[in-house]
Amino acid sequence: MTFQDLNLNTPLYNALDDLGFTTPTPIQTNAFNLVASGRDVVGIAQTGTGKTFAYMLPILRNLKFSKQDNPRVLVLVPTRELVVQVVEEIEKLSKYINNRVLGVYGGTNINTQKQAVAQGLDIIVATPGRLYDLAVSRTLQLKSIQKLVIDEVDVMLDLGFRHQLINIFDILPERRQNIMFSATMTQDVDELITDFFRKPERISIAVSGTPLDNISQNRYEVPNFYTKVNLLVHLLQDEERFNKVLIFVAFKRMADRLFDKLDEYFKEELCVIHSNKTQNYRLRSIEQFREGVNRILIATDVMARGLDIDNISHVINFDVPIYPENYMHRIGRTGRAEREGEALVFSTEKEKEAIESIENLMQMQIPVLELPASVEISTELIEEERPQIRERNNPIKRRDENAPGPAFHEKKEKNQKENLGGSYKFKIAKKYKKPKTKGDKNYNKRNKKK
């Protein structure tokens, strides 16, 4: 099947021709008619299979020209980088279409975004937090939304956006089309679908644990962090083979730590993204890596999720992810658009259980390679790798786990009041001899004389 077999219009065909796309991916083929029909749709497909075009092609096909100021299409994504990327993809498809697209996200001046919203728009792409802020301020009116798209919904729920999503649902029109795309189907995702979707059509292109055929996988068994660094430096010296490398680490501190070590060797070839970096720094790092200015990008899972960067030669798992599904998302960064890709994993003895979970999910073993002879085996350990020494019989260092913390103090006596509940009014009445008969001011005087 080609794009000519889909019921597109001439402006979209011209845009696809300019991009050089002729054959739709399976998710694009299966989703087009369902999304175009106006029914609620849930699509499950691996990262790198073209989910953005899968929902935008039918939406743009049916989006009529309008001069109204309020948006008619809302696309929610979990990260700022994804907002920028989705807006770019929509603009590519809208090259010959007269529509207005805007991306909004936190970490930037909200007043500038309010001014942009006030100019009028057709499609808004947003992170949940900033969208809700704009809606609550009454700058952004959502009463005209006809289609709601939630992309990478599993990541959105992992990041704790569930309550914000529910708040957004409450202020959207009830009569709308809901479209949801995700790389994995989790219990949280299923509950969200049950609560807010109306008899959705489901599309599942591949099981989340199915490895892409065009990605070769290998693993190195490495004892510790510094040996991993030595191995990484050894591999990255081969610039011709490792020409565009994405390195995944477990958390932000590890990303900075690895960046400092590799900076000694690769200087201008290296960049890093994680949520503690400024928005401009993160966008600049991604753009320089995409354009080939930087050869090596260090990233955490959330920051690199859903990013569409072409021609990544290698994905290196410096740390093994705890959740096996995240491994699938990581390696899906390479081997995109039917190109060949290579994924490597550095695993320690402590990460053996996580490796077994990944292999069980994929139903295949990851081949183990021998460490190159020139790689030095380090004996130095980082803080997380050092054994925790507990002195059982040291009375000074022993701590009562049930003891209150240093900030705890007993209430003063005057503040230790008894919760008297409903009997309180009777005790007060007895103490002050309040009149038993309502409105009888002389009751107490008469009783006192008696």
**End-to-end Cα spacing for the chain:** 105
In the chain, the domains with their CATH numbers are 3-204 (3.40.50.300), 215-380 (3.40.50.300)
> Residue holding tokens 């889909």?
6
For residue 202, the model assigns a pLDDT of: 87
pLDDT number for residue 59? 95
Rounded to an integer, what distance in angstroms lies between the CA atom of residue 32 and that of residue 56?
A: 9
The CA angle 177-179-184, to the nearest 5 degrees, is: 160
Residues facing residue 73 across a β-bridge: 123, 147
Per-residue model confidence (pLDDT) at position 119 = 93
Q: Are 110 and 130 in contact (CB under 8 A)?
A: yes
What was the pLDDT predicted at 438? 55
CB contact set of 139 (below 8 Å; sequence gap of 6+): 114, 117, 118
Q: Cβ atoms within 10 A of the Cβ of 116, count? A: 16
Structure tokens at 139: 């700058």
Q: Kind and range of the H or E element at 17?
A: helix 10-19
Q: How many CB atoms lie within 10 A of CB 421?
A: 6
Q: What pLDDT does residue 300 have?
A: 85
Taking a C-beta distance cutoff of 8 angstroms, is the pair 166, 4 a contact?
Answer: no
CB 23 within 8 A of CB 160: no
Q: In what order do the strands lie in the sheet with 314-317?
A: 270-273, 296-300, 245-249, 314-317, 341-347, 215-221, 368-369
The pLDDT, as a whole number, for residue 204 is: 78
What is the torsion angle, in degrees rounded to the nearest 10, for the CA atoms of residue 351, residue 357, residue 46 and residue 332? Answer: 30
Which amino acid is present at 80?
R
CB neighbourhood size of 191 (10 A)? 12
What pLDDT sits at residue 309? Answer: 83
Per-residue confidence in pLDDT tens, the chain, 450 aa: 788 888 899 999 999 999 999 899 888 999 999 999 999 999 887 766 788 999 999 999 999 998 899 999 999 998 888 999 999 999 999 999 999 999 999 888 999 999 999 999 999 999 999 999 999 999 999 999 999 999 888 778 767 788 889 999 999 998 899 999 887 766 777 888 888 888 899 887 755 555 667 889 999 999 999 999 999 999 999 999 999 999 999 888 999 999 999 999 998 999 998 878 887 888 888 889 989 999 999 998 776 666 778 889 999 999 998 878 778 878 888 877 667 889 999 999 999 999 999 998 888 999 999 999 999 999 999 888 888 766 666 655 555 555 555 555 566 666 666 665 566 666 666 666 655 555 555 655 666 555
Q: Tell me if 85 sits within 8 A of 306, measured CB to CB.
A: yes
What residues contact 324, with CB distance under 8 A and at least 6 apart?
A: 209, 354, 357, 358, 360, 361, 362
CA 256 to chain centre: 20
